[in-house]
Amino acid sequence: MLDKFLIKYASPTLGKIKTGSLFKVSKNTKINLEYYMKYYNSLLNNFDLYLEIIYSCDKYSLIYIYNKEMLINDIKNKNINNFLRTYGYRGDFTDDYISFLKERFCTLKKTPHEIGIFLGYPLDDVKCFIKYGGKNFKLLGCWKVYDDVENCSNKFKEFKNYRDEFTYLYENNYSLKDLIKKKI
C-alpha cells in the first residue's frame, strides 16, 4: 500500500544515498497505518531502513524513513552533534534523537528546521536556512542550497535518477524488496 509513497518520496533513502526522507499519508486514505508500518519495518529493517510516524494530526501522519547507519554517522559528526545539542538533543542512540524530534514536532506544531539534519541535508544549508528564514538561497531543489551549489545540484540529479529508475522498475513488476536489493 505504501510502496508508491516510498518510491515517489524516498527512493534515494531506499537506495542508501540519502539519510532520510519524509512523506505525508492523509487520514482520508483509510488505511491501517499501524499495520503497514509494522509490515514495512519487517521488510525494510533487514536493509537497515526504518520507518517511524514522526508526527500525526487530524489531517495526516508524517512518515520518516531513514537509513540507520547513515543517521548514526551524521549524528556522530561533531559539528552536527553540537548543532543538534543547541536545540536540546541528547543521548547516545538514534532512538533518543528521533524521540526528541517527535517531541519538537508536537511542541512546535510545525516542522522543526533541524529536520534537515535527519534528512541528510548539509549542515551549512540547514544553518543558513534558519539564519535567513528560508530566503537568499542560491539553488532550490530537494532543499534550499546556500553553499556548494554544484555538489548539491549533482545530488539532486542523482536523487531524481533513483526515483525515475525505481518508478520504472516498480511499474514493470519489480517488488519494493527487489528494488532495494538491486540498489545495495
For residues 91 and 14, what is the distance between their CA atoms, to the nearest angstrom? 26
Of 34, 54, 123, nearest in space to 95 by CA: 54
Per-residue pLDDT band at 183 (split at 50, 70, 90):
low
Prediction pTM value: 0.93
For residues 171 and 118, what is the distance between their CA atoms, to the nearest angstrom? 29
* DSSP codes joined into one string, 95-119: HHHHHHHHHHHHHHTS--TTHHHHH
Per-residue pLDDT band at 182 (split at 50, 70, 90):
confident
- For residue range 106-123, list pLDDT tens digits in order: 999 899 999 999 999 999
- For residue range 126-152, list pLDDT tens digits in order: 999 999 999 999 999 999 999 999 999
For residues 26 and 57, what is the distance between their CA atoms, to the nearest angstrom? 10
Q: Is 84 in contact with 44 (CB distance < 8 Å)?
A: no
Sign of CA pseudo-dihedral 141, 147, 150, 154: negative
Domains of the chain by residue range: 3-183
Strand partners, 184: none
- Grouping H, G, I as helix, E, B as strand and the rest as coil, residue 94 is helix
Taken as a whole, the chain contains a residue count of 184
pLDDT of 100 above 80: yes
Q: Is 66 in contact with 45 (CB distance < 8 Å)?
A: no
**Cβ-count burial 100-138 (b if 16+ within 10 Å, e if not):** bbbebbeeeeeebbbbbbbbbbbbebbbbbeeeeeeebe
Amino acid (one-letter) located at 79: N
- Grouping H, G, I as helix, E, B as strand and the rest as coil, residue 51 is strand
